[in-house]
Amino acid sequence: MKTCIILLSMLVAGLSYDQAYSAQSNSDQFNVSKNNSVSSPADSASLQLTDFLALYRKNSVILNWTAPKEEADDHFVIERSTDGVHFQQTGDVPSSGASDMNVLYAYSDNVRAINTLKNDIYYRVKQVNKDGKSVYSKLLLVRVFGTKALKVMSITPNPVLNNIRVSVELNDDAMVAMKVNKTDGSEVIRKSVKGTTGQNSFEIEGTKDLPKGNYFLEVIVNSYERMTLQLIKE
């Protein structure tokens, strides 16, 4: 029986315009229901990008990802969706060619025509080989907010394959609290760290070992900016 995650993202506290929130699902195969949940089965054959996150700068979502060791790759196709179901190509990035090292890539997507304040934006990356074969990355969900303290929050909620990773880009030093709770409110994991100005990345150890069930992941910056995700580990 396949293991899957259902991801439901919710805005809990007032965040403003310059923040981009992103969350990664477990594979490229997913369904989005009316309550904005994303269900995706574990698929070890999907493109395993690392450090896949998004920034927001003046009407542009900047995607950053690191590709594993490449052999016969030709290029990457970036696809975007506003409903999580219907995707269209928004750009492509050439591969750096054969390499025995991980390679960092970036792509800037102009989203001026999209109402980013009210609509989530979904991204996925398709890696195309020279023989035409392709494989998709995990899903990246981007939500634009904004606050004086916090520019960007990126969350990789994948407790099936690895620990959850939280990335924040801060305008100033701030305390970042990360909590995983059961649906009854009882806390199972907590991690608090002091973030520094700029990009920060934190791993919540132990989340990959959570038993099957429903959980809430809560990330709080300076006791004010707050984001909650519902995780269903099946």
For the stretch 208-220, pLDDT in tens is 899 989 999 898 9
| Mean pLDDT score, 125-149 | 80
pLDDT exceeds 50 at position 128: yes
Q: Which residues pair with 81 in a beta bridge?
A: 122
Output b/e per residue, 104-134; b: 16+ Cβ within 10 A.
ebebebebeebebeeebbbbbbbbbeeeeee
Give the model confidence (pLDDT) of 13-51 as tens digits. 333 333 444 444 333 333 333 333 333 333 334 566 777
Classified as helix, coil or strand, 209 is helix
* pTM as predicted: 0.67
Q: How many CB atoms lie within 10 A of CB 193?
A: 14
Classified as helix, coil or strand, 100 is coil
| Confidence at residue 167, expressed as pLDDT on a 0 to 100 scale | 80
Give the model confidence (pLDDT) of 88-102 as tens digits. 999 999 988 767 778
- C-alpha distances (whole Å) from 5 to each of 29, 39, 208, 231 are 11, 6, 12, 7
DSSP state of 21: E
pLDDT exceeds 80 at position 143: no
Binned at pLDDT 50, 70 and 90, residue 158 comes out as low
Q: Do you know the residue count of the chain? A: 234
